[in-house]
Structures are given as C-alpha cells and as structure tokens.
Structure 1
Amino acid sequence: MFQVSLPQSLHSDLPLTALAPMQDVTNLKFMKVIAHYGNPDYFFTEYFRVNETSRLNPKILASITENDTGRPVFAQMIGESIPDLVRTAKELCTYNIAGVDLNMGCPAPRIYRKQAGGGLLLVPEKVDRILAELRQAVNDRPLSVKMRLGFENSDTFFQILDIINRHSIDLLSLHGRTVKDRYQGRVNYALIAQAVRHVNCPVLANGNIYSAAQAMSVLEQTGAVGVMVGRWAIGNPWIFHQIRQALRSEPITPPPLTEVRHYIDRLYQTPEAPNIPERARVGYLKLFLNYIALSVDSQGNFLRLMRQAQTEVELFQICDRFLLADPAQTLALAPLITRDLT
C-alpha cells in the first residue's frame, strides 16, 4: 500500500483550509459564492448516497464537472455496502476529482441507524474491510476519510486510527465531537492532537472553527496540517481569506454589513428561481440566514424576524433594515453569542 500526493494547495507556505461538506449547502452554487470571497484549498461535495440501486446524483456531480473555482474537489460518499462503495468510487474516479472521501461521521439518525456515516464507528471490523477494498479501487487518487471521535464515546477511536494507517489513507478530516454530540458541546481538540501524532497521513481539524483567531488556536493546539470549516463559513464567507491573513500576521478588516447584504443577494440569485415556488425560495435563503443572523445582530432580533417572514419582499425588507441602516457597521469577527456548529 502507498499514499498518494494530495492536490497542490493555494499557498504552499501556509496550513491547508477546506470547506466542510454540508448536505443541501455545499452545492456548485455555494462553492462558487465562497470562491468569490476567498477560496479554501479544498472543496468537498455533498455526499453521494451509495446503495444497491444508487447512481451518481447529477446535481452533486455538477459541483465537480461544472466547477470553475480553480480548486480541487473531493467527491464524498456515504454508505455501508462494500461492493457498491467500490463501484461508486471507481465511477467517481472517471471524473476530474481531487480524491474520494468516505463519510464516517454523519450524525443524522436516519443515516447512522443504517450503519452508514457515523454508524460505521461502531463496527471497526467493517471499516477495515471497506477501507481495504476502497484502497485497492482508488489506487491512483487520494483516498480520504471524514470521521468523528467515536459514536457515543472514543472507545474505538485509536482502533480506527490504526485501520486508517493500515490502509494508507491520504487525508483524515477529524471532527472533535462524537456522533451523539452532533453539533453541541465542547470540541475535544486534545484528541485531535493525539490523532495527528498517531496517524501517518495529514489531518484537518474540524469542529467549531468560527473565526480566523480560532483557526490559529486550533492549529496550535492540534498540530494539524490545516482546518476544515463548515457552517461558520456560511455566516462568514470571508473566513478562508481571513485565516490566511491571520497566518501571515496581517490585520483583518471585517466586512461591512452592506457587503453581507450583497452576499445574501449572491446566495439568492439562481437561474432556476422562476421555476421554484416563492415559499421554497424563501425557505432556502432562511437556511443560510440562520447562520448569518447572530453575527449581524447579537440580540437575536434579526434572527427572530427573519424566521417569521413569509414572502420575498418581507424577507428582503428585514435584511435591508438590519444590514443597510448603518454603513459603518461591520460583521462580527467572532460570535457574540456562542453557537456550537461544525
């Protein structure tokens, strides 16, 4: 077994950054929006569901085949059927992917109850078989794993890290919570640091990296090769650029709220809009505004009113009220109210 070289980073002198895969969020459109404000080194797709009857989801595939961000994209799979994971991995390798990524961390009950995602952490023997087969199938592309510390505790943690070493995994993205923790509670960066020392591959630290300063702290605490940022990048798409500024000891200028208002417009603009019911369009935008609102208004009024809005007109009037009232006001660089998100 051997490890494959990872795609080239944006800046070889700096730690890596990656946008975490988030279902219903990290589609092609969102990757392009993030790229406008400052690319990460790596993107990861939403997960391709893998089972006996699965085929590659065309919308997720578009985030690979139509991606013009200039950054490598890892194709993420979720499933537990070994023949079908192998079949899907081989098919994905016919596309221009940075590598194949196996999801072993999804905390959704409907996923882990099927022994997929985070459920795999309960069965190290199966993880061993899956990674053995995938390593053979993905022999000329990077094979990466995204996982958590364990299911309810970290009892199987080091056993699975040993399996990762056995099969020469090329990159490990590690969320410092258990599956049952979901997105709540303290992130155990100390265990991420132990993983960094234990495995033979680079490790991306993941979990509640809400600002450039926090990214710097996590890199120092863990010794990881880089950081993976998830939902905090929704609230602050400038975060990857800000992390690079912090790493170079440059001052970070927080974006004015007027720029946040432009960002919301970018999120909303889509060629499919005329064919989507207004209620669905409003609901889609609220998905993102949930992660933006508290960095704009720490009192929660923006969040409350935004969630109550029923129409596009009403929603954008609320956005204008909070984002355009004071041109000098800027987006918070760190959360004013603690929100434990990935």
Structure 2
Amino acid sequence: MSSQVSLPQSLQTGLPLTALAPMQDVTNLWFMKVIAQYGSPDYFFTEYFRVNETSRLNRSILAAITENDTGRPVFAQMIGESIPDLVRTAKELCKYNIAGVDLNMGCPAPRIYRKQVGGGLLLTPEKVDRILGELRQAVSDRPLTVKMRVGFENTDTFYKILDLINRHSIDLLSLHGRTVKDMYHGPVKYDLIAEAVRWVNCPVLANGNIYSAQKALEVLAQTGAAGVMVGRWAIGNPWLFNQIRQALRGEAIAPMPLIEVRNYIERLWQTPEAPNIPERARVGYLKMFLNYIALSVDTEGLFLRLMRQAQTEVELFKICDRFLLDEETKTLALSPYQGV
C-alpha cells in the first residue's frame, strides 16, 4: 500500500481549499481563464476524459491542461470502467503537467450511469476496489483523487466505498452530498459529508449547493471538510471563490455592480471559437451560463424566463441590458433565487 502524495499548495496558506467542480461542456480552458480573472479557486478539474477500449485523449479537454496559463493546478478527470484503459489513460495523462488524476464516480446523467460508469460505479464496490487498486499503482508520483456522491439510490454502499478510499490511499475526496438519483434536487446531506470527513484519511472537499460565501462557511463549519468544491453557482457568480476567501478572513464582501456582470456575460460570449459557431448555437451556449447568472441578478425569476425565450443575439443582449444596465445602483445578490 502506497502512502499518500502531497496535494498542490493553496492560494492562501491556512485557509480551507476551494475548487471549481468539473462540469461537462462548461469547465473548458476558456471558462477556467475567465474565472481566473475574477479570482481563481485553489484547484481546477477538467471535464471528464471518456475512457474505453478505443478512446484517445480529447484534444480540447487536454488544452485545459497544456494551454492553461491561470497559474493554478489542474486535475485531469477520467470517466470509465475498463480497468486496462483507465490505467493506460492515467499513464498518458501523467505525461502532462497535471496536478493529479481524478476518477469520476458521481456523474448523475442516466446515459452515463447506465453504462456502469460515473455514478453507476457506486453500485459495485468490488469493481471500485479493483479500479482504485490498479490506478493507485499506475499513479504513484502524484495525487490520485475521487469525486463521488453519497450513493446511487440510497447510501447502502457509502461506508464500504469510504473504506476503499482509505485502502487505496486516495489523496483527496470530493463528495457531493446527494445520491446519483437525486441529481441536483432536494437537500444535500452535509451530515454524511461530515461522516466521510471523520472516516477517511485524506482531505475532503464538500460539494453540493454551495451558492454563496456564507453558505460555504456554514458547510465548512457543519462538515469539518478541508474545503469546498463549487460548480453551478460559480457560473452564476465568478467572484464566489474570492468572496469565500474574504468571508474566511472575516472581511466584508464587496457588493458587485451589475455592470460587472454584464462585462462577464460579454466575456463568455466572446469565446475564441465564436466566429466559427452559428448564432443559434452561440445563443444556446450562452443561455447555459445565463441559467445560473440570471438567478443571482433577478430574484423574482423574470430575467430567467425572458432570457430563455430569446432566439437571437440582439434579443438576448437587449434582455441582459434591461436587467443589468438600467439600474446603476443594483448589485449581484449574495444568495441566488432558489425557485427552480
């Protein structure tokens, strides 16, 4: 059994860790660069590399590692269940400047878990045992990390899998406090994250509905976790990692004028690939981000409804301007609208 490998340094020694959760179609190189301009998390995680018998490293996901100039460590995430191919891919990834290799054991998309990968792995602890054992041998000189949920449909295998995290000297566990079947709905079981913190020998990042700096403080206090991993709410508020650090230092959080939010949206719109993408696809791509941004801008939900109906760039930005530029004194809400 190998001993644990040390994790990359945090931005601020002595403060809990922050990480941007890996999100498919979101956490690409461009989004990491944009987020970094507003205050980087301690750690980035890539979208997942799909691993199977015929898989090769996806070039655009690889760019989030090879072309990443944010100055922050990037963990490469894999999803799959074929042990020889996971081992092969992990070794390939270790040739690049990665902070570590992360195994996805939590993806709740039915098309994923039905293939016994992502969250589907939680149903077969015996398989997880074999995967982690082989990966630990293949990844010996840098962190091997796991992102998972508290169970598939229930928490029957929870402690069994935590024991495997210990057995194979996993270096960091990112734990979303819902089951796979919960998707993103319902209460997050922070009490089970607290249990995991007590149970495993590695640092735990608490994940699930951390929508504000205040919420991050509450979750850290409740779970004793080494840090927080934030996904969707960092899309809506790219200042969130900075705000979490401010709150942890006991500083007041500076309110963010909505004109800054409008600038952020403009940045998201100007992706490097933009000129080659049809308008309709670009509008759809931006709406994916606006689904979260709108919730922190207009707590009534009207911005969200109107934005979703927009068909063209002109229409979409007219709605953005109406909500973001009409009232110069308005600032981004510190807690988003929870009505969806």
Aligned match of 1:182: 183
Aligned match of 1:122: 123
Aligned match of 1:303: 304
Structure 2, unaligned runs of 5 or more:
none
Aligned match of 1:213: 214
Cα distance in 2 for residues equivalent to 1:88 and 1:233: 29
Cα distance in 2 for residues equivalent to 1:180 and 1:239: 28
Instruction: Give the 3-state SS of the residue equivalent to 1:102 in structure 2.
Output: strand
Cα distance in 2 for residues equivalent to 1:35 and 1:338: 29
Shift of 1:297: 1.1
Cα distance in 1 for residues equivalent to 2:179 and 2:276: 40
- Relative to the length of structure 2, the TM-score reads 0.99
Shift of 1:254: 1.9
Deviations, residues 97-133 of structure 1 (Å, cap 9, x unaligned): 0000000000001111111000000000000000000
Quickly say closer, same or farther: Cα 1:231–1:7, change in 2 above 3 A: same
Letter in 1 for 2:152: F
Deviations, residues 130-186 of structure 1 (Å, cap 9, x unaligned): 000000000001000000000001100000000110000000000000000000000
Q: Greater CA deviation, 16-25 or 300-309?
A: 300-309
Shift of 1:338: 4.6
Instruction: Give the 3-state SS of the residue equivalent to 1:314 in structure 2.
Output: helix
Quickly say closer, same or farther: Cα 1:199–1:338, change in 2 above 3 A: farther
Letter in 2 for 1:306: M
1:266 has 2:256 as partner: no
Shift of 1:295: 1.3
Q: How does 1:161-180 map to 2 (within 5 A)?
A: 161-180=162-181
Aligned match of 1:288: 289
Shift of 1:273: 1.4
Instruction: Give the 3-state SS of the residue equivalent to 1:337 in structure 2.
Output: coil
Q: Greater CA deviation, 267-276 or 153-162?
A: 267-276
Cα distance in 1 for residues equivalent to 2:140 and 2:339: 43
Deviations, residues 282-303 of structure 1 (Å, cap 9, x unaligned): 0000000000112111222111
Cα distance in 2 for residues equivalent to 1:150 and 1:271: 38
Shift of 1:82: 0.3
Q: How does 1:43-82 map to 2 (within 5 A)?
A: 43-82=44-83
Deviations, residues 23-56 of structure 1 (Å, cap 9, x unaligned): 0000000000100000000000000000000000
Aligned match of 2:33: 32
Aligned match of 1:325: 326
Q: What do you get for the CA RMSD once the two structures are aligned?
A: 0.7
Letter in 1 for 2:236: G
Cα distance in 2 for residues equivalent to 1:135 and 1:197: 22
Letter in 1 for 2:199: H
Q: How does 1:3-22 map to 2 (within 5 A)?
A: 3-22=4-23
Cα distance in 2 for residues equivalent to 1:181 and 1:272: 34
Percent identical residues: 82
Instruction: Give the 3-state SS of the residue equivalent to 1:294 in structure 2.
Output: helix
Cα distance in 2 for residues equivalent to 1:338 and 1:52: 43
Letter in 1 for 2:141: D
- Relative to the length of structure 1, the TM-score reads 0.98
Cα distance in 1 for residues equivalent to 2:273 and 2:223: 43
Aligned match of 1:278: 279
Deviations, residues 77-109 of structure 1 (Å, cap 9, x unaligned): 000000000000000000000000000000001
Cα distance in 1 for residues equivalent to 2:93 and 2:291: 33
Aligned match of 2:99: 98
Answer whether contact 2:301 2:337 (CA < 8 A) is retained.
no
Q: Greater CA deviation, 306-315 or 118-127?
A: 306-315
Letter in 2 for 1:79: G
Q: Greater CA deviation, 309-318 or 70-79?
A: 309-318
Answer whether contact 2:51 2:78 (CA < 8 A) is retained.
yes
Cα distance in 1 for residues equivalent to 2:13 and 2:262: 33
Cα distance in 2 for residues equivalent to 1:134 and 1:299: 47
Answer whether contact 2:301 2:339 (CA < 8 A) is retained.
no
Letter in 2 for 1:175: H
